[in-house]
Structures are given as structure tokens and as C-alpha cells.
Chain A
């Protein structure tokens, strides 16, 4: 630790933040008051202290008045603490000698019409900060090494794009995908809105590029098992499950599948078509290596058959293949695990799972796809007949408080419009209805696409249906809805009803967030560090987000976010060193009883109880893994753990200043929150 011996010389700066603070708090009075506090050398108020002129004023005062503590009373430290720490550093002061007081969010904004009391509160907050500032200590600036390698979890379009961008910049990338092929949901789609590009035609080249790139190691059939270490040097364990086919030998000829006698529902086709027990998910799979589904293979279940092995000229089938654990060291991690689809069978009113002709939009996607189970010819699942009346029901699962998915899934309006336009192009005679609540067409070219659908005579009905009833003989469906434009209840008979189901957080997040601590938002998706200014970062330094795992989004947004995540990871790692937060916990070994209370409380695996040099079990905190959350310090029964920059002395001085204006005198607190 750096030593400061001089007497504290404190500068206090009270920011008006335009009228955000000054509209309620009398900033001049606050700064005048600050001048009366111990060791305060200068106090000023400023219209925008974060501005260039504000920063220059602080620098000038530090130099001319020889300040060694700086207090800014303004907005949240989440907003501008880094700004002012930089100001200190630029003038040669340790950045931890800076203290911020939030008199905006925590004062002016919550006491809008209590001017006098708010001013009083601002004065007290400043007094508390001054008390704490006396005890601030300079902390050593810490840097850790940064490996030039990145783990990308999830091989959908986001993961592929992030991997390609990083690989092109010279980083080593490990792209981990749990399925036997990369591609994700985008590979299942027929066309993409609003441009109607063939989905697999634009995706497949990227899949191939990722597999061939010398800087990318593709790990399919694989799942991340464990992440330890910290930014710069994460240590990752990946479990690679056996496919029972040698990736190096298989040429993807498919003879094995023609010989395999076991038929299984094809998961890639949402279970609508069939595939064999040895299979590739789809013709453009990458890697194009066959895969044996152990649970249904005759050899594995009954000990007979081995037809695939017999007919494989490349001798690629290997029933003895075992799972293996691959260990990787990476500097950063990009999470791109995508989304799951909502299961609409819980919404009994629509009869999904009971009425065969009620299908999901993802099932329709496969039925419209030329490589799907019907080769692109739309058929009813009840009788194989071609339909000509199709109704879409929007917001199934989404915007619904009952399902726990109150958010808009964002893609379904355009997805339904796309599917409707596709069908209308091939079959103008179809009657297509889209029952919607709002049409959300906010992307580039989306509104024009919506108009194109109306031009093709797609019928938009404002009103979410209350129920679907099947005629048991014809299997036709009657949809009951209020047509809000008409102001009437309508009952419409159709051949197929398509449910536009919501995008939901993937189940895999439960395990993943245990392995890699990234918080989830109230919607269940992964939470970015700041919704506007750090949209691809996470609170775990070195972990970034891309694609729908952060929230429902379409392909362009997923790709854009993937590129942003790749660029953020590259910016973090490219200097070879990473500066980490110095405000971390440390253990006073003499006081530690080795009780282990702190160890499981640490969400970041930063604490390990080990035998110390003195031969007794002692908690050891990895200062680089520690995020400074303070949980361990507050839990420690023997006060052996101290959180740097938030020491007991510093906090108690602040508390004391809150309660006592002067020694012995209790402050009369007459302010209420809210107004």
C-alpha cells in the first residue's frame, strides 16, 4: 500500500447538474457549508462539474492548493466516478483519494418539492463524505495479464459472428456448441425478414468460415463445465460428448444413415419429420460429421446391428468413443447461448398439443422450408391436406403476466408477416389472418414489409383471440376474437392456426450462471452491465453478451451485438494487461479463525481456505478474482476481512458524521423520502 503522511487537504465540488440538482438543492449554500468542515481547503459549486471546464477547475485546484482529497457532490458514482478518478490520476493523485456524493438520485430527484430539507440533506451528505475522505488511503493500481484468446459459448449466428471477428483480429477463439452442428435457430429458418434472404444460404458460408478459420477451434457436442480464474486468465473446462463417429475420418457421405434401421423424430424439424439414429441435423451441418444418438441406437440399446459401422468406407464409426474434458485458458468469454421457445401447451385456450392443426411458428417455418419434412409444401398435420385458411395468433406467451413473460418477444410480428407473405407469394388463394395486439415494425424496412403484407391481402385483425375450438369431424378450427377495428366479436373458421410463441431465456442459463456469475434481469435473460452505455458488458469483468441470451432480438441485432462483444473483448485484451479494481478484500491472517463462513458466500470463487504460512487454516482471497462486493467482510465474525476503500473506520466516520453535527449533538432529521 502507498503511504500518505500529509494532513488531508480536501476540495469539495458541488455540481448543479443544470437544474437537475440546482432546481431543488441550493448548491451555493452547500458549498459554503462545506468550507466550514474540517480540512476543507476549497469548496466550489459548478454548473456541470463533469464538463471540461469543471475537470480543469479541479486539476487547477489540486495543483495550486496542493489538494490531496477530492469530493464531488453530483450524480451517481456509477455515472461519473471513473471520470473524476481519471482527473486525480492525471494530476498525479491516487484515484482512490476521490470520494463521490450522490446528491442527484439520492437527494434532489427524490425530494423535488422540499427545497430546504433537500439542501439540508445535501449538506449532511457532504459532511459525511468529508469525514470519510479524511481516512481515504491510496491504493495500489493493479494490472493482470491478458491472454489473447477468447471462449465463445454458443454457435448460433451471434457466436459465429463474434468468433469470426475475433479470429480475424488474431485472437485464438474456442467456439463451444452443445449441438452436433453450429448454426443455431437461424439454420432452421426458411427466409429472413424483411429482405427475404434464404436463411441457410447466408448463414452456411459463415458456419464454414468459422470451422475453417485457423484461429478458431470448433468444439461441437460440447458444454462448458467449469470456469475459474478471472479476466485475462480464465481457466475453462469443456465436456466434449462422444458422437461415436470420428470427426477426422467421417466424410459426411451419409451411407450410414441410409443403412440405419432406427427412425426417430427429427428435432431439427421440431419433431415433425423423421431421421435415423445416426444422423446429421441438416444437410449443411458444420462439421458435416455424423452423430449416433446413443439412447436409440440398436447396438447401444440391444447390442445388435452395427450396420453403420459395416457400411462406412472411411471406418469412421467408433462405438468406443468416450467423452473427454478439454481444458482451455482464455482472456475473455463471450456468452451467446441464444433463446428457447415458449411451450404454448400451457395456454389451454389455444389447444396446442390437443388440436393437431394448431402449430407453432417454428413448426410452420419447417413446414415451409424446402429441406423440411414436407419439402416446403404446407400440409395439415391432422390429415395431410393442403390448407387454404391460415390464422396467426400473436403474442402467445409474450406480453402475458400469467406466463411470466411480460416482455415483447420483438421478432414475432415480422416473423408472422414474413411467413404470411411467403405463403401468399406461392399461394395467392390462401386466406391469411394475423390476429395481433400491436404490430411492432420498428426495424429498418419493417414498416414497408408490413405494408407489403397488406398489399398481398394478408388480413390483419386487431384483437387477440380468446380461444380456438376444433370441429372433431373436419378438424377445422374456429377462432373467436374481438375485431377491435370493427368493434364486434368474430368467429372465424380456419384450417391451420399458427401460434407466434415467445422467445424465452434458455434453460441452460441456470447451469451457466452458476459456472460464470452473470446476473439475470427480471425477465430471466442475462443482464448487461448498463442498459445504454455498457450494453454488451456484464458485471463480471471479461464476460460479454451477444444475441438473444441478453433479450429477444432479431438476426441483424444479434449480429450487431456479436460484433460489439467481439470488439469489446478485443479492446480489453489487446494491450496484454488489464487494470482491475483495487477496492478488494484482504485477510488479516492473525485474526482469521479459519471458520470458512466466507468461503461459500463468495459468488466469485475468490476465497479459498488453505493452510497459511503459520500452519493454521486461513482464508486467502484472490485479489484479482475479488470484485469488492464486501459480503465476506460483513460476514466475518472475527473482523479478519477488510474491504479496501470501505474499511470499518472509513464507514464509521461517515455514520458518525451522519448522526452528529458536532461531537455530542444529535442532528434533527426532518426529511422524508418521496414527496
Chain B
């Protein structure tokens, strides 16, 4: 992440994040770095620095945060949330930040791809037959079919299609 010029600081950005469900506790972060030390993604990916994302958000480096590829790396394992001494709920904060990014039209291509799969298949994978075969081998019952009507409703209400259309080409 790069900080280029002072005009890029938008002090209101932190409030935007806090208004999204899950983002409200970002203010309590005191930069101890425990989240980062805990994070399993951080072990494999040097560019993923969750404490730094929070710091940049609190300072107001909006474009830097929302344009960043690293905010999409969180695997939502909740380890950081479990261990944070200040109750920041970083996993939820990261989700709030990603929601803002989507609203601004910044979606990581992989997420867009996955959203397409969910829209089409109602699941995060399409090859239901293959999965059911594996489940059968393990003695598990087949998957319950997805209620496509309900899914369509959810997708409509959450504006997923519209948000995905907003995506700017990078």
C-alpha cells in the first residue's frame, strides 16, 4: 500500500466503515499487532498486514484501502477476532471494508467469479453431481437442493447483481 499525497486523506472514511454492520469497533484498535501475528494468511502472504489496513482506515486513506487487493485476502477464520484484546472484531471490520469496496465498484475478480457461481448454482460450486458422488462414497446423504426462489429474493434484496455490474475494469 502506498501513501502518495496529503490530499488522499479523507478523515470521514473511518465513519463510513463504522456505519457498515460489523465495522463499528474499528475505533478501538490500538495497534498492538496481535491480529497480524495470529493471522494464518499473514504467514504465507507478506503483503497482508491487517493492523496496517486498520491504521490506514482510521487515518482516512480511503482509496488506498478500497483499491487494495489485500483486503480480499481475509479467509474469515475469526482467529484475530477471537484473540483481539480490544474487541475490534477485525473479521467483521474487513467484511465491512469489502462491502464498501464493492459499493465503490472495487471487487476482486475472484469474488466476482464466485458471486457468479452463487447466482447461477445457489452454491459456491457448480458441479453438484461430483460432490454428491464424493458424499456417497463417504456414506453421507446427498445435498439438499437449493431453494432457487428464496435465493433469487436474497440476491435481489442485497443488490448483488447491481453491485457486480458496478465493477470498474481495473
Contact = CB atoms under 8 A, between A and B. Distances in A.
Contact of A454 (B15, B28, B55): B28
Given A457-B15, A459-B58, A483-B55, A489 B29 contact: no
Interface of A: 389, 431, 439, 450-451, 454-455, 457, 459-462, 478, 483, 485-493
Q: How large is the interface on B (under 10, 10 to 19, 20 to 34, 35 or more residues)?
A: 20 to 34
Interface of B: 1-3, 5-6, 9, 11, 14-15, 27-31, 51-52, 55-56, 58-59, 61, 86
Given A483-B55, A486-B3, A492 B14 contact: no
Contacts of A486: 1, 3, 52, 55-56, 59, 61
Contacts of A491: 5-6
Contacts of A485: 31, 51-52, 55
Contacts of B28: 451, 454-455
B60 to A, nearest CB: 8
Nearest to A428: B15
A431 B12 CA distance: 9
Contact of A431 (B3, B6, B11, B51): B11
A478 B9 CA distance: 13
B29 A493 contact: no
Given A488-B3, A491-B6, A483 B59 contact: yes
Given A457-B15, A457-B27, A492-B9, A487 B52 contact: yes
Contacts, number: 51
A37 to B, nearest CB: 61
Contacts of B9: 490, 492
SS class, residues of chain A in contact with chain B: strand
B39 to A, nearest CB: 16
B3 A451 contact: no
A490 B31 contact: no
A431 B58 CA distance: 11
A245 B126 CA distance: 95
A462 B31 contact: yes
B30 A454 contact: yes
Contact of A457 (B5, B14, B86): B14
Nearest to A487: B52
24 contacts: A431-B11, A454-B27, A454-B29, A454-B30, A457-B14, A457-B15, A457-B27, A459-B11, A461-B59, A462-B31, A478-B6, A483-B59, A485-B31, A486-B1, A486-B55, A486-B56, A487-B52, A488-B1, A488-B3, A489-B3, A490-B6, A490-B59, A491-B5, A492-B9
Contacts of B11: 389, 431, 459
A485 B3 CA distance: 13
Given A459-B58, A460-B30, A486-B56, 9 more contacts: A389-B11, A454-B27, A454-B28, A454-B30, A462-B31, A485-B52, A486-B59, A487-B52, A490-B3
